[in-house]
Copies of this chain bind each other. A is one copy, B any other.
Amino acid sequence: MLGRGAATSYTGTMAFTIGMAIFPDAEELDFVGPWEVFTASAMLRERAGEQPDQVLLIADGLGPVRCNKGLRVLPDATFAEHPPLDVVLVPGGQGTRREADNPTLLSWLAKVSASARWTTSVCTGSLLLHASGVADGRRLATHFGFEDELERRGATVVRDARWVRDGQIVSSQGVSAGIDMALWLTGQLHSVEHARSTQRYIQYDPAPPYQADA
């Protein structure tokens, strides 16, 4: 895996294929947040006359997938058949506890991660990176409520960073943290200036309305 650190030297003109694994009870915002970031980035590249990145939802089959809070989405491709992936993203959600014992998903993840430039997770998606072996020796972030459990399962957990990049593995904390991670990765894939334009397009100038608990 040495040498993957050169990822930041990509030219701004390359286009990438980004695949997001989904499964029953995947958490909605974990993948739709990054989806919005990556597809907005693609649209801005297309407007600028550059080749846009392609973003796909990938699942076991093409039928509707019911997410953790009830949203039903349709996958674009299946684990058995999809284009080569430059970036893999694994969301969290209650479904990760079941998928951590699903050899189909875990072996797919190990296979695509071996040739992808980046393998990423949001929230408890880190459990699937860990269970598949693709994060062996890497530090991981996860949802604050799952840090103890992920550590108990043998992972090295970082508790004080919104997202963690360790080699080609990038993992984020819970749910909304995937947006920040996806913006960071957009800057790595293309350019910081392009990531800023993407952030501006989705008007991501967050202003949480109530002060946090003291």
Contacts and interface: CB of A to CB of B under 8 A. Distances in A.
Interface stretch (A1-9, A106-114, A130-138, A171-179): A171-179
A175 B69 CA distance: 20
Nearest to A193: B213
Number of copies: 2
Contact of A202 (B176, B187, B210): B176
B212 A196 contact: yes
B71 A32 contact: yes
Contacts of A195: 209-210
A195 B57 CA distance: 30
Contacts of A14: none
A24 B144 CA distance: 36
A28 interface: yes
B209 A180 contact: yes
Contacts of A72: 73-74
A200 interface: yes
Contacts of A179: 176, 206
Given A69-B40, A69-B43, A210 B203 contact: no
A203 B177 contact: yes
Contacts of A27: 36
Nearest to A203: B174
